[in-house]
Amino acid sequence: MTPAPPAPAGGTTRGALYALGAYLLWGVLPIYFLQLKPTDPFEVVAWRIILAFAFCLLLLTVLRAWRPFLAIVRQPRLMALTALAGVLIYVNWQTYLIGALTEHVIETSLGYFINPIVTVLLGVVVLRERLRVLPWIAIGIAVLAVVVIVVGYGAFPWIALTLAASFGVYGLVKKQIGPSVDAVSGLTLESLWLLPVAVIQLFVVASVSGITLGAVGTLHTALLLSAGAVTAVPLLLFASGARRVPLTVIGLLQFVAPIIQFAIGVWVLHEPMTAERWIGFALVWVALVILSVDSILASRRHRRVVDDVTEPV
């Protein structure tokens, strides 16, 4: 197996802090989005797309990154993949906003708890990767958790499963794109593809309930206009962090965001947690512990193999 390329200058500590900052921001997003009421989730996503695109254009100019961006535009395969990524992130954003603004924050956290397991399952189904015993056990426990929630709670967790599936496939598409598309260019193109959707949504919202931008107050307007930066900043922090730290560190840090979201849903927003929900979440957490332990053990085995191969005779 080819050793991983050396981390960029700056070290793993800085990278871990970048990644942690991204997950902390993602974790507190429900509080930000709740401040946008009474704005409709579809209006929020529309402004999020438009303002994220404008923010990325500014970044491309400031960072003088137009040349690599235009190089990507001239490659049809990459353009097609970024279009698919745009559709998937749109589904994720729209579902998340519906959950956050309709008091289903706990269910959104469940989606991001399940996401690592969905990612592993996609690796098996799509990439034909072979799994060890522990990940299969984790997947089985996660499926049992969803069954417990559906049967015991009496409601299908469509928000959680849609979030997990959309972000899992989004990650798979980004993996296919690889290092050919940097974070800023990728988000710029994904937002560009979604601009027509955003415009249509604004027209529909305007005709049904009316646009709230500038109509609810100065603070509300400022918060809504911040949607572009709120979208882009954690993505850029994550991209900077992921380049500097091992995948196992990212794998462990990714639980920070759903833990914060879960805490906000239970103790800040006081969303209901029935016994069935507690049991379902407990099963998911057990599955994630098993998955994390397996990942750490596999990483240690890989390091030992690399050390043995590179050890001087």
What are the pLDDT digits (tens) for 37-54?
Answer: 999 999 999 999 999 999
User: Distance (Å, rounded) from C-alpha 39 to C-alpha 213?
Assistant: 8
At 290, the pLDDT band (50, 70, 90 cuts) reads: very high
Average pLDDT over residues 107-126: 90
Can you give the pLDDT at residue 265?
95
Q: What is the model's pTM? A: 0.88
Can you give the pLDDT at residue 305?
60
Can you give the pLDDT at residue 179?
81
Contact 113, 254 (CB under 8 A): no
Can you give the pLDDT at residue 313?
45
Contact 232, 59 (CB under 8 A): yes
DSSP letter assigned to residue 180 = G
At 3, the pLDDT band (50, 70, 90 cuts) reads: very low
User: Distance (Å, rounded) from C-alpha 121 to C-alpha 134?
Assistant: 13
At 244, the pLDDT band (50, 70, 90 cuts) reads: confident
Which residues lie below 8 Å from residue 141, measured CB to CB, with a gap of 6+? 283, 284, 286, 287, 290
Average pLDDT over residues 193-206: 97
Q: Which among 194, 181, 230, 211 has a CA at the least distance from the CA of 60? A: 181
Query: Chain-wide mean pLDDT for the chain?
Result: 88
Is 229 exposed, middle or buried (CB count within 10 Å of its CB: 0-12, 13-18, 19+)? middle
Longest dimension (CA), the chain: 75
Q: Which among 166, 180, 112 has a CA at the least distance from the CA of 142? A: 112
Lowest mean pLDDT among 47-51, 101-105, 257-261, 304-308: 304-308
Cα-Cα-Cα-Cα dihedral sign, residues 32, 35, 38, 43 = negative
At 68, the pLDDT band (50, 70, 90 cuts) reads: very high
Q: What are the φ and ψ backbone dihedral angles of 141, each rounded to 5 degrees?
A: -65, -40
User: Distance (Å, rounded) from C-alpha 32 to C-alpha 227?
Assistant: 9
Q: Where are the domains of the chain?
A: 11-301
